[in-house]
Structure 1
Amino acid sequence: MSIEKIVEQALQDGYLTPAMETEVGRICDTTSELSIEEYMALDRLMGALLNGEVVAVPRKQFINVMEELVLAEAITQVAEIEARGDRVLDVGDIAAYALNRLPPLYATTEEGAKYQRQRAKAELKDLINQHVSAGLARNLDRPDLGCDHTPLNKSTKNDVLEQISSLLQDYQSRT
């Protein structure tokens, strides 16, 4: 989707979603030079965001408690393996493997998160350990090919307002 279409959609809906923000950032990061139309669209978006005509939807208004429980277990199990050998394991891959096999436990409040943690520790502890162990075994079975993988969220400019402001300042200095 183009910057112009994203801006038009945001103006129509009154919201800039995280997916829209990410796409604008991706376009800005991968394009060597934006067109005048793209700069004008970004200027419209910046104005709409600043005057409240468009609201940026927060990235996360909820958490998946299962993520923190699985990550803690994965770190514990990986630390034990790495302490005994020379192999470095990918905690993220192991946690993702387990999370794909476990039920999500979403919460929108601290009280809800506390409840989900207690519930998971009482009812799902063995299942969490089992799936983390399976992810660990799978990770150990893979050959180490030495290739680099590009992790998610590598971008350093996450704030769309900062990106747009920077682009507009750059454009202004060129004219």
Structure 2
Amino acid sequence: MAGKKSIPQERLPALQQIYDTLCFYLGFYDDEKHMVRQILDSEFVKPYFKEYRRDYLEITTQLEDIDCDELFGWCRSVNAFASPRYTSSSPNKEGWTALDHAAHFLVHVLHFSWQNDGEWTHGKFDPDNDQNIESDTEFHQVWAVLRYLQAEWEAANMEGWEVSGLDETFANLLSSEP
């Protein structure tokens, strides 16, 4: 899709509510909420969402809502953080599923952040270490960023966009935190 479409005015209140939940989940409150927008537009997130948008959102006919637990299990089962399929900067994406695209986004955002003193600093994905909740928290936070950015894109580009389901997903964020 050429050019950025604007989000219809009537959809903005629903997105604002979801944005506020994202801010709270990431640990930014009232006078700090603008910092979340800075993260979303930063070099740590923006280029990877641009790729996700180009290679998944703009070409698929049926978008999927990526469940965090499903993505977490997928990344764990395919060893996504060590697999060239997801760590490569230019993998062959033929036949990729929504989970593949989401895993690629997540792996790249976290790796880039870890290596460049970004927002997420833990340094590794370690789901088998019960005492290391920081790894799980970072995973959940980047998933939430992806879901929010996808919601913005959908609100701007999908005629039948509805917040139902998505608002529940974000309302459940706080209860799903590791």
TM-score (norm 1): 0.25
Of structures 1 and 2, the one with the larger relative CO (CA 8 A, separation 6+) is 2
Q: Which has the larger radius of gyration?
A: 1
Q: Which has the higher strand share?
A: 1
More helix by share: 1
